[in-house]
Copies of this chain bind each other. A is one copy, B any other.
């Protein structure tokens, strides 16, 4: 595996790569969730690039950009072990040279849910992803379902900008106790981690309810919120049942997605589950 910092160098290598190029965009601090994406890419593609870049432009004022975990050597060892061909770790100065002012935005879909709480977040995500897609000319890009709205936004951008690219959404990876893997789980105290388990419990309960025939969106949302409130969160940003493509409020729980964002003292967590 090569570790490369310069975007132009990755472009050059990719322009000579044979077969399908697979990209796994990450912000590093890799966990099993990320590694499942790398494995999927390795399985579906001929040439696999993992990008490791804590993108400053997707963090708002007062968010955790400075404290976001950075463990480049550990990330490199994990990528190497999973058989990635390139680990692309650019600097912010290389990604955003002085005077940088080009932004891509998916309006509407980014104004709700996460976008409502984190106003510039998705503009940063779509811009950096488009740059990474262009640098690598990947034919497939792999994203975790954990950031459900992010995948919706990237898919809409890809389609509307006519990018010749498949966005592959991979299932959420959870700890044995149900907590969705996240680099931000490291922020939690032991007590918070215990309390946070109610989020995944709420997710699983919602799926079981739909499996058992419940179709009432309000009932699902109410039950999930009640479960989450048991953990005495600092705030619940949303617990809502949505259409899995448009993210508009769902009318029928079957075929929808339940999404939640919950704050504790030291962390803000998101989770979701597809309801069949």
Residues of A within 8 A of B (CB): 7, 11, 15, 97, 99-109, 126-127, 130-131, 134-135, 137, 156-157, 160-164
Residue of B nearest to A131 (CB): B162
Report how many copies the assembly holds: 2
Residue of B nearest to A7 (CB): B162
Q: Which residues of B contact A163 (CB under 8 A)?
A: 134
Q: Which 6 A-B pairs have the closest CB atoms?
A: A102-B160, A101-B107, A134-B162, A104-B104, A135-B162, A101-B108
Q: How far is the CA of A215 from the CA of B164 in the complex (A)?
A: 49
Q: Which residues of B contact A99 (CB under 8 A)?
A: 108
From DSSP, what is the main secondary structure of chain A's interface residues? Answer: mixed
Q: How far is the CA of A20 from the CA of B162 in the complex (A)?
A: 19
Tell me how far the C-beta of A235 lies from the nearest C-beta in chain B, rounded to whole angstroms: 29
Residue of B nearest to A108 (CB): B101
Once the chains bind, are B164 and A15 in contact (CB under 8 Å)? yes
Name A130's contact: one of B7, B100, B156, B161 (CB within 8 Å): B161
Q: Which residues of B contact A109 (CB under 8 A)?
A: 101
Tell me how far the C-beta of A95 lies from the nearest C-beta in chain B, rounded to whole angstroms: 9
Once the chains bind, are A156 and B101 in contact (CB under 8 Å)? yes
Tell me how far the C-beta of A153 lies from the nearest C-beta in chain B, rounded to whole angstroms: 9
Q: List 11 A-B pairs, Cβ < 8 Å.
A: A100-B160, A101-B108, A101-B109, A101-B156, A101-B160, A102-B160, A102-B161, A104-B104, A104-B161, A105-B105, A127-B161
Q: How far is the CA of A244 from the CA of B105 in the complex (A)?
A: 28
Q: How far is the CA of A134 from the CA of B105 in the complex (A)?
A: 17
Q: How far is the CA of A2 from the CA of B127 in the complex (A)?
A: 34
Q: How far is the CA of A105 from the CA of B102 in the complex (A)?
A: 6
Q: Which residues of B contact A126 (CB under 8 A)?
A: 102
Q: How far is the CA of A11 from the CA of B101 in the complex (A)?
A: 28
Once the chains bind, are A102 and B162 in contact (CB under 8 Å)? no
